[in-house]
Structures are given as C-alpha cells and as structure tokens.
Amino acid sequence: MGSALEGCRFVYNKEVEMCRKAYETCGRIFNRKDIDEYCEYVLKLDHPRLNEIHPDCISEVSNRVAQAFRKFESEMAGGLSPELPAFRGPDRYASFSFIKYGGNICLIGNRLRIISIGDVKCVAHRSFEGHPISCTISRSSTGKWFATISCVQQSIPCKPSADKGPVGIDLGLYNLAAFSDGTVYDNTKLFDRMASEMVKIQRKMSECDTDSDEFRKYKRRLCHLFEHYNNKMRDEMHKRSTEIVESYSMIALEDISVKELIHSYHTSTGRRNQYSSAWRMLVEMIEYKAVDSGVQVIFVDPRNTSQICSRCGHYVRKDLGVRVHSCPACGFCVDRDINAAMNILNRGLGMQASFSGKGNSQFS
C-alpha cells in the first residue's frame, strides 16, 4: 500500500507541475480531460511502473489536481490572489481512493481485498448501512492504515427526538458550549492537557538537531499524541452532537467562520486552533445528524451576542475575563455564555420566522 500511495503522490506532483507550467507560460488552466490525457499519453509512457497502480486510483488523483486548479481559478475570478496548487511532500500526501467499490476492492470477513495489492487483514469498526460505492485508503501520521468505505442509503430513517423545543448554543473558549436552557459542556481540560504535553515535546525538539534520531523520536511522539487527542475529541464530539440532535427541535448555532475571525484578535494561535477545530467538528456533526433526524439548524451572526442583554437588548460591555452578565437596565443576571446562547436562540427564532438568511437549513 505504501508503494501505491507513493505512486499516487508521484502522479499528483507530476500533474501539478504540468498544470503550473501551462498556467505560468500561457495562462491556461488545464481541465480534467487535459490532465487525464497528459497522464495517459505522456506520464504512463515515460514511467511504465505507473501501470502497476490501478487506473481508478490514478483517475482519482487527476480529479484532485483538477479540483485544486478549479478552486484556484474561482478564487482568482473572485478577486483574490491565491497561490498555485503546491507540490506534496511525503508527509503531505496521505490517501488514495478506489472510485468503485466491488471487483477491485472489497471487504471479505476481516480482510480487505485490494486488486494488485492482495488481502490485507483489518478490523471492521462498523457494518455497512446502505450500498457501498467507493473506498479510500489512508495512512495516519503515525503510520496506521485506514480504509473508509462510503455508502449510499436509499431512505434516511427519521429518529424521534425528545423534544425540549428550540435551543441556542454558544461555542466558547471557557466552556466548549453553553446552551440557552442552562446546560454547559465543559471540555476544556482535554485541550489544556494536550496543549501542555505538546509544548513539553516541542521544547525538547527545539533543543535537538533537526537531523538527529532524538528529533525524529520526539516528532513521532508528537504525531502519536496528536492522533490520540484527535481520536478522543472526535469520540467526544460524536457523543455530544448525537445528544444535542436527539434533544431539541431547532438548533441555533453561530456562523463559525465569523466567530473565528472575531476570536483571532483575542486568543493565542495554538489554543484558538484547537478550539476552532473542535467547534467545526461539533457543528459539522450536528448539521449532518440533524438532516437524519428532521431537526432544523439555523446559523446566526455571532457578533455582540456576549455583550447584548438577551432579556432587554441593552448593550452591556464586558471584557473576556468577565464571566457574568449583569444588566444594569433590567437587572438580568446570568452566566456570560448562557446569555450569549439566549441571544443566539433569539436570532435563530427571528430567522426561523422569516425563513431568510444563510443556513435556512434542513428538513427531512
């Protein structure tokens, strides 16, 4: 599998090189057909060993390159100045895919049969739901291999929810999430522990020569740590998002990209990145699980939700360190994050009433 992955990376870099040259010399963006032809009539002839890799996998690589250049083109058209798609080093290319599940790749008992590679012993974490269509083989930073099999479902079951009505959720740095009904998820210990362990390893790495065995040992340890916490966080977010979707009939959330922009001025990069990835993971999971459950998700503008009084609308200015909202106009006193969650709910209900704005989301 390692050599198939390396072969795909080689094709990716060669195709990127060809597309970059075409753009730099004559300003032309190659499309999927051009890339396929280059691969078939130039690359494979120059490098016959590429014929050992299944055409499905090569075709998917060409698709990735075409997508990267399409994104580049649309960003240019949007007035941005994006960088040309980059070459991928060995650490930056981690997966290859079979676009059709079945003859070329299939799961037989506890073995994954991969054409031109053979049978690979594996642990199946869950059974198929629906009809399998494609398979992606990926290698984690610690060298573990995973196979992700995508399935399509004919009909989506609609789960009944224990209806506690609509809710607003504030995603924060102090509490991971605070709810308008007073519920609080405090997951910050996980991040703090991870941050302090990472800092310790990074400090040791900075004292080593980058070409030494010692440095590589710490780098491996850092990758293991990162993978371990990522798995833990994913597991935690799965539990939380299921709980949320099964409990409420409408979920008002903050528009994360706007929120990240606001917080980028206030928080150190490392800590903010950890929170941003946790927020994103939670929001994405809530979004797709809500579709299955017939729960509506509404995204609202998060600006000033922590400053405005959710009861009377008075603007009560407070710094990040002030944890309690206490309104001098109406006397409302509540945890800062819960007040923000109430504002998010109010905005969500306003948008629900008008059915307008971004993220007017899903009904099953």
Q: Minimum distance between the CB of residue 95 and Zn ion, rounded to whole angstroms?
A: 52
- The whole-angstrom separation of Cα 332 and Cα 324 is 10
Total residues at interface with Zn ion (CB under 5 A): 8
- The whole-angstrom separation of Cα 246 and Cα 163 is 8
Closer to Zn ion by Cβ: residue 8 or 308: 308
Q: Of the candidates 30, 143, 28, 9, which has an alpha carbon nearest to the alpha carbon of residue 86?
A: 9
Of 25-33, 75-83, 179-187, 304-312, which part binds Zn ion (CB under 5 A)?
Answer: 304-312
Q: Minimum distance between the CB of residue 250 and Zn ion, rounded to whole angstroms?
A: 24
Residue type, 214: E
- The whole-angstrom separation of Cα 362 and Cα 85 is 34
Report whether 264 contacts 272 (CB < 8 A): yes
Any contact of residue 308 with Zn ion (CB under 5 A)?
A: no
Of 115-123, 187-195, 270-278, 312-320, which part binds Zn ion (CB under 5 A)?
Answer: 312-320
Any contact of residue 329 with Zn ion (CB under 5 A)?
A: yes
Q: Minimum distance between the CB of residue 329 and Zn ion, rounded to whole angstroms?
A: 5
- The whole-angstrom separation of Cα 165 and Cα 250 is 7
Closer to Zn ion by Cβ: residue 314 or 358: 314
Q: Minimum distance between the CB of residue 333 and Zn ion, rounded to whole angstroms?
A: 9
- The whole-angstrom separation of Cα 167 and Cα 346 is 9
Exposure string over 118-155, b if 16+ CB within 10 A, otherwise e: eeeeeeeeeeeeeebebbbbebbeeeeeebebeeeeee
Q: Which of 11, 114, 309, 345 binds Zn ion (CB under 5 A)?
A: 309
Q: Minimum distance between the CB of residue 297 and Zn ion, rounded to whole angstroms?
A: 28
Q: Which of 47, 164, 314, 358 binds Zn ion (CB under 5 A)?
A: 314
Of 107-115, 214-222, 326-334, 351-359, which part binds Zn ion (CB under 5 A)?
Answer: 326-334
Of 48-56, 148-156, 285-293, 332-340, which part binds Zn ion (CB under 5 A)?
Answer: 332-340
CA R_g for the chain:
25
- Number of other CB atoms surrounding residue 52 within 10 Å: 11
- What residues line the site for Zn ion (CB under 5 A)? 309, 311-312, 314, 327, 329-330, 332
